[in-house]
Amino acid sequence: MARTLLLILALSLSLGSHAQGDEESAEYGAETLYNLLVAELAGQQQQFDIALGNYLLEAHRTQDAGVAARATQIAQYIGAEQAALDAATLWSRLDPQSALAQQAMSIEQLRAEHLADAMLALKKALELDPGLQVQYLTAYTSSLNKNSRSQLLERLGSLHNSHPDNASISLTRAILLQQQQDLSAADTELNNLLKKHVKYYPAWMLKARLLTAQNKDDAALDTVKSALKHFPKDKALGVLKARLQVKVKDIKGARKTFAQLSEQFPDDGAIRLPLALTLLELGEYPESREQFQILLEQGDLPNEAHFYLARLDLHDGQYDAALEHFLAMDGGRDYLSAQAQIVQLYVKKEAYGQAIAHLQKQRELDSDNRQTYYLMEVELLNRQKRYDDAADLLNEALSDYQDNVDLRYSRAMVAEKLGNYPQLEQDLTFIINAEPENATALNALGYTLADRAQRLEEALKLIQRARELAPEDPAILDSLGWVYFRLGKLQEALNNLRQAYNLMPDPEIAAHLGEVLWQQGLFKEARNVWDEALSKQPNNLIIKRTMERLIKP
């Protein structure tokens, strides 16, 4: 309220000439003050349409430059382009010696794509303030077409001839060239600019970023190093140098740069974190742990600190300590990954009940990821072969997320374990209808139909569609081989199963390949395939049951 009272006092002084004199003038002044007071109060309540309407009305009625300026500011803030142009035009006319008014005018004319008027206003602004930083224009030029930007480039060239010491004009031209995708010309513009204004910081930063955008990381790094000779203590340049060192695989150099920056800015977690990560990548685990611990003690980026301290604990086999760190997180980019790690640590301790309780709690705390927590719990139940419980949980989840294909697929796989083939087919068909190019669902349904020796031609079509989408997927090649086997096409079956096994020597593929070889009388080769698979997984039931079924005592 104090600010409002000061505003009223200032307005009454600025409008004093209107408020004095005859009775009619006094009433006019009071009404204006009332309307402006209403406008300010409306602005404080974020009712900007009322604020703008009153200010624009009184700007035209009072012909007061201050009121017109305020109307311009409000209109620009809420993006009311026509009102902003109206107010800026009035402001620049009422106060022709104001560089700010001309600057506002140039912005609004540019937004209206009145290029000549925009440049005229900019020219007037530069005459009033030769040092004006004009790159503000580029915030409004990205939406212009190429021809319009070319016109601006030409007009800015003329302005630069009139104001050769204003470095921001060349910088603006470089940004426009960047928007035109003429990066070579932009680089040339910046090089010429830096020859004349070697300590013009924005030009160095733009040059480095342009080179980075072109994946010219070595050249960008050289540019940053040159810039640091003129700005040796600049944080942004230092951080950019370190990140570029990481990109060019100079990890030790990045570690040194981050360490120097951390000494220079010890309270900046955004610098200490990449230092800790660089040490971690170099395998300097004690030093990395020390930096993450400092982050934690400073209360800066605690979620990131907890996450990586937990990973270090995992590396050291300190599972209980890792669990504590993961549990201490309450958000952050790695939060969901941490929840998966928590579950794995509980499983490692065979504490399935705690793992499930944790996931159920997370479904309430982290509603954005509820579906993921459902899937994680289903995986736990499947591990324990609690397929009925898994099916019940998926039914509960799908009552809220009936269109979720991941939950549908998971229920289909549980249904297969329970022998509930109608449910499996229903869910896989739903997925295929929703996502016709879902190769995984196509393959799963096709394989199920083939494995049960039902609707083999339909199964073949489904799997062939899947293969068209993912021709090198070994699971799909396995299914294709299996359906050919069911159809009695042994050579086609063998070709696909060999290819699948070469890509992925999985026990189930080995079982299928061995069976087809056996049926073709290639008994020794079949035994070799099975023996090789059993050497990796001696207790695999799929292979053992296949061998028991085929090899007669």
CA distances from 46 to 59, 66, 222, 527, 551 (A): 20, 21, 48, 79, 82
HSE-CB for 222 with a 13 A CA cutoff: 5
Instruction: State the Cα–Cα distance between residues 102 and 250, nearest whole angstrom.
Output: 49
Instruction: State the Cα–Cα distance between residues 325 and 313, nearest whole angstrom.
Output: 9
Instruction: State the Cα–Cα distance between residues 427 and 433, nearest whole angstrom.
Output: 10
The answer to whether the Cα torsion of 504, 505, 506, 508 is positive or negative is: positive
Instruction: State the Cα–Cα distance between residues 218 and 211, nearest whole angstrom.
Output: 9
Instruction: State the Cα–Cα distance between residues 247 and 234, nearest whole angstrom.
Output: 20
Q: Which residues contact residue 441 at a Cβ distance below 8 angstroms, ignoring those fewer than 6 apart?
A: 405, 409, 428, 431, 432, 435
pLDDT band at 40 (very low <50, low <70, confident <90, very high): confident
Question: Do 296 and 307 meet the contact criterion of CB atoms below 8 Å apart?
Answer: no
Inform me whether the pLDDT recorded for 453 exceeds 80: no
**pLDDT value at position 33?**
83
What value does the mean pLDDT of the chain take?
91
Greater pLDDT, 40 or 373: 373
163 phi/psi in degrees, rounded to 5: -130, 65
Q: Domain 1-130 adopts which CATH fold?
A: 1.25.40
Closest by alpha carbon to 414, among 400, 436, 397, 437? 397
Instruction: State the Cα–Cα distance between residues 460 and 479, nearest whole angstrom.
Output: 9
Instruction: State the Cα–Cα distance between residues 297 and 362, nearest whole angstrom.
Output: 26
Q: What is the DSSP letter of 385?
A: T
pLDDT band at 332 (very low <50, low <70, confident <90, very high): very high
Q: Which residues contact residue 116 at a Cβ distance below 8 angstroms, ignoring those fewer than 6 apart?
A: none
Instruction: State the Cα–Cα distance between residues 357 and 342, nearest whole angstrom.
Output: 12
Closest by alpha carbon to 413, among 428, 393, 433? 428
Q: How far, in whole angstroms, is CA 52 from its chain's centroid?
A: 36
**pLDDT value at position 527?**
94
Q: How many CB atoms lie within 10 A of CB 236?
A: 13
**pLDDT value at position 553?**
63
Inform me whether the pLDDT recorded for 454 exceeds 80: no
Question: Do 410 and 394 meet the contact criterion of CB atoms below 8 Å apart?
Answer: yes
The answer to whether the Cα torsion of 77, 83, 85, 86 is positive or negative is: negative
**Cβ burial, residue 422 (10 Å; 0-12/13-18/19+):** exposed
Closest by alpha carbon to 114, among 122, 100, 170, 179? 122
pLDDT tens for each residue of 461-494: 999 999 999 999 999 999 999 999 999 999 999 9
pLDDT tens for each residue of 374-414: 999 999 999 999 999 999 999 999 999 999 999 999 999 99
Inform me whether the pLDDT recorded for 509 exceeds 60: yes
Inform me whether the pLDDT recorded for 188 exceeds 70: yes
pLDDT tens for each residue of 108-162: 999 999 999 999 999 999 999 999 999 999 999 888 899 999 999 999 988 988 8
Q: Count H helices, E strands: the chain?
A: 32, 0
Question: Do 89 and 58 meet the contact criterion of CB atoms below 8 Å apart?
Answer: no
Inform me whether the pLDDT recorded for 7 exceeds 70: no
Instruction: State the Cα–Cα distance between residues 152 and 123, nearest whole angstrom.
Output: 13
pLDDT band at 41 (very low <50, low <70, confident <90, very high): confident
**pLDDT value at position 301?**
93
Instruction: State the Cα–Cα distance between residues 161 and 193, nearest whole angstrom.
Output: 13
Q: How many CB atoms lie within 10 A of CB 335?
A: 16
pLDDT band at 48 (very low <50, low <70, confident <90, very high): confident
Q: How many CB atoms lie within 10 A of CB 296?
A: 19
Instruction: State the Cα–Cα distance between residues 338 and 336, nearest whole angstrom.
Output: 5
**pLDDT value at position 197?**
94
Structure tokens of 226? Answer: 């040159």
pLDDT tens for each residue of 51-86: 888 889 988 998 999 999 999 999 999 999 999 999
Q: Which residues contact residue 461 at a Cβ distance below 8 angstroms, ignoring those fewer than 6 apart?
A: 446
Percent of the chain exceeding pLDDT 70 equals 95
Helices (H), 366-437: 370-383, 387-400, 405-418, 421-434
* Residues 33-58 as b or e (16 or more Cβ within 10 Å = b): bebbbebbebbeeeebeebbbbbbbb
pLDDT tens for each residue of 13-27: 444 334 333 434 334
pTM of the predicted structure, to 2 decimals: 0.76
SS3 per-residue string spanning 35-46: HHHHHHHHHHCC
Mean pLDDT of 271-283: 94
- The residue type of 193 is L
> Phi/psi zone of residue 163: left (φ > 0), alpha (ψ -120 to 50 degrees), beta?
beta
Q: What is the DSSP letter of 367?
A: G
